Structure 1
């Protein structure tokens, strides 16, 4: 919470107050999707009230470990505040422990439950009630943990996360910090969510062991001003005790809410198995995405059973476009040569004082400032932001 307040205060210093209040309010996704009401899927923030310890702590993964003297922090957390001119080699590198106590709501019992850490810097291990449930290498992609069978109901539960941002050549950036041109921060520096849904659900690509698959995959083909094909692939898992027959339903809406496409694909999923739904939407006169007109459609995906009841679902925003580099003919966007120079910038995912633990609003603010300066390409500094 302190970091979010600090980020907002910094924003106030950079913008006149009336501009901050009157600014467009951006919409931020949760764990890569937008929650859809009455879909059977819920998203709960797990950001508040973690306890942090710098250094090793023997037994810190066990529920009965005494963490009362640890500092209380809220996510995103970058372990420490750093000077505004920090350029590397002065921030903390090494082991840290995070612990969170919580009692799950009774209404969640019987649901599939996943912890979704949007990122934990460096190496990490996630324990729930003393059980090691996940080990992850690399600080830029989500760590997703199935906690369904690890929770205790009606009592205190403990999530313990061990993380280490020490130099390690085995994953990006792969170099020692003293030879990098930026600070290699640490901690659980992005949001954490508890995702709850029914046992029949759209999978998470960061959890499933699916090559070039898992979750909802969207691609585009034959893109032009007159038409475009939206290619859809949805990976569905059935963790219930019964076989499932139903449909995957796709609804495409323009930004104003107007429905422009609706279709469904029949699926059958045996108990304990997965299946993949594949379909295609052909749009006439599509509203194509470009830097000048960055139109985003809403794609709503639902799973319905044979009785027509919604089992799972969520919303994604998609931009319909094609991107090609044609050698001496240059860069083509949406089937046409792009007529203006490609002007861009490099951007690291950090901010003064808070380091990598940057609020979503500051990420958005940086993107807007770069776009207002006329830049249309952002190089994301070797790592997914």
Structure 2
């Protein structure tokens, strides 16, 4: 059997086991192990302490697991802990003499100094992008070794975003807050893309130059490093597996690599009749690259990507040849209490909620976010604008060099994600120099020198492919609708908040002329009540409708998805369409109503009554729906069946709201029924609430069960109901949560007891290697308590 046939047989056999091997490992809680390559989650059994100063500890060493935040903060963070903390972990080393050991950190906020056995081996500046430590030469074989990470989360003007926390519009929480992995490889191995520091190379780079329904042509570029003392002669076998199970194998010519040498090996690939990636069909391909020496696999890595064609013109954004308007939101990665230290599953649940709200696009504000979030966007079908860290700060010197390095690292980390379509290599709302903007775009285009690499900047400079102003960066009433630079597309990167808060506050709020100024803003907590939540929804509706008038506007992103904390403020920034606990506000359902009803789980026909139906509720009933007609019933009596009415606030919307006049308040049931082509497709009922009587418990999983393998955080909600099971949105009792489990790694995090807001009390459940049963109990004075069991 000649060599080419051997390689072909090996490729076929590899694919037979491709899916089975992954399934076996997942079901048995094993880490990924690709032949000589072993990747282990290194998050368990760390020792941690905060320092009062550079030497004195606050307390004794504490046993923790990663992801970890340096301090559990209150719900409203107005005195966030900043300082220096230490993480240590002992681990045994038993390895072949030539085996390579790497520690890969996904995110440490914001300066990390890593020691192996008391030797300083790495200093990394920047809290939002990964770094790798090559520990090989610092290990003591057949012994217990120690890794120590000193984490400095203090104001540092040279580390983007650079601005002191007390002046910043968001918080950066200290700690090793993303995953850490131990990676063991053969000395001749595939590199890590960020660690390799190679322009347009490093790791595995996949790009498709031609994409059509008949076929997709591109390449896979694999960077290998020979850290052995012997010359190597290798070949690469690259295998594609489609979502439908079709397989393609590509074999490289033999390549010789000298000791200490590295090479990029490019393989042309051609995929017939590709299953194209899009928000409606987020098809992902599994790609495995194997390194062969003498027909033996010495290293192997697996990645996922999607095949899609993106184009940006003055007429719009095109995906797979079809024009697509980008309807999106902004997201901060913060959770209450634990800050940034959230799980991969929690990141997925955020993406799920964004998709469920009706969006097809998300802007990462204002920094690169967890790889798990991008993977979720790949899987769920969300287009992404990636962003380097920056907000209202610019400084020449090391700050600039670090910002440019952020562009390189972001591109190298995220280039294979089909969801990422724009690269915001711009310091948000910062006074960037022309020289910086030109350099920033040169850096990006050197890393990704392809026609479909699109940069985005908040300043209208020709070096950027896409201009991304906020709505408030222009003036009413037209805002950006009269923007008319030839062949220049724009995307409204923020809208719906600031223009109603400080600039021309109350503009076009004729439906609410009698409101106080604080009631005109979009910054409305759920507990502020029906009237003010309706105001927020109207603000977003009016602004979205206005944005749609712009001829050159290819998309928009509202400000924002979830409420969050800010360094400079002593209250929550509450313009989210869901609160910080991810509970939807009325605005959430306005956006849901703008989806076309297609019948899939994220595009169902819907109807929502934006009212509490209490004695002080509005008698003009707003109903959000994507149906053609809606009928409203009060206690089973038809009020009216009607079509939506377009006005100055809804002239451009796909699905304007429905408004019904109810002559007088009558307690009981309001029921809305949506119709398409005369057929009932959706309904929603609300009931006048009675007195608070009992508690209903739920856990927010949003498409992702609690992880059994790694740490996770989930929200637990205690909803106050009346005796008939109807929500009581005015209820604000103190609710105490209790968790009962034999597993000591399952705990509640947050204020406890906690006062319910708008009828719901919320707390976090944090788990590690989750095992059921876990019983959670909630009780409040005068209410029937309740329990929920998690298995």
The TM-score normalised by the length of structure 1 is 0.84
SS of 1:149's partner is: helix
Q: Who is 2:69 aligned against?
A: 78
Q: Who is 1:331 aligned against?
A: 317
Please give the residue correspondences for 1:102-117 in structure 2 after superposition, counting only pairs within 5 Å: 102-104=91-93, 106-107=94-95, 110-117=98-105
Q: Which has the higher helix share?
A: 2
Q: Who is 1:64 aligned against?
A: none
Q: Structure 1 pair 161/125, CA: closer, same or farther in 2 (3 Å)? A: same
How many residue pairs are counted as aligned between the two chains?
Answer: 341
Which residue among 23, 32, 45 is the counterpart of 1:49? 45
Which residue among 28, 32, 35 is the counterpart of 1:35? 32
Tell me if 1:212 matches 2:194.
no
SS of 1:282's partner is: strand
1:42 and 1:196 in contact (8 A); partners too: yes
Which residue among 125, 134, 140 is the counterpart of 1:146? 134
Q: Who is 1:123 aligned against?
A: 111
SS of 2:353's partner is: helix
**Residue 83 of structure 1, CA deviation:** 2.1
Superposition CA RMSD, Å: 2.2
Q: Who is 1:358 aligned against?
A: 342
Gaps of 5+ in 2: 1-22, 370-791
Q: Using CA pairs below 8 Å that are at least 6 residues apart, which structure has the higher relative contact order?
A: 1
**Residue 140 of structure 1, CA deviation:** 1.0
Tell me if 1:311 matches 2:311.
no
Please give the residue correspondences for 1:240-251 in structure 2 after superposition, counting only pairs within 5 Å: 240-251=228-239
Gaps of 5+ in 1: 1-24, 29-33, 61-66
SS of 1:206's partner is: helix
* Higher gyration radius (CA): 2
**Residue 168 of structure 1, CA deviation:** 1.6
Which residue among 84, 88, 93 is the counterpart of 2:82? 93
Q: Structure 1 pair 251/59, CA: closer, same or farther in 2 (3 Å)? A: farther
The TM-score normalised by the length of structure 2 is 0.42
What are the superposed Cα offsets for residues 145-188 of structure 1, whole Å, 9 maximum, x if unpaired?
01111111232211111111112221222111122222221111
Tell me if 1:367 matches 2:367.
no
1:223 and 1:335 in contact (8 A); partners too: no
Q: Who is 2:190 aligned against?
A: 202
SS of 2:136's partner is: coil
Q: Structure 1 pair 273/68, CA: closer, same or farther in 2 (3 Å)? A: farther
Tell me if 1:344 matches 2:328.
yes
**Residue 304 of structure 1, CA deviation:** 0.3
Q: Higher mean Cα deviation, 254-263 or 142-151? A: 254-263
1:50 and 1:73 in contact (8 A); partners too: yes
Q: Who is 1:8 aligned against?
A: none
Looking at structure 2, the residues matched to 120 and 74 of structure 1 have their Cα atoms a distance apart, in angstroms, of 14
SS of 1:207's partner is: helix
**Residue 201 of structure 1, CA deviation:** 0.2
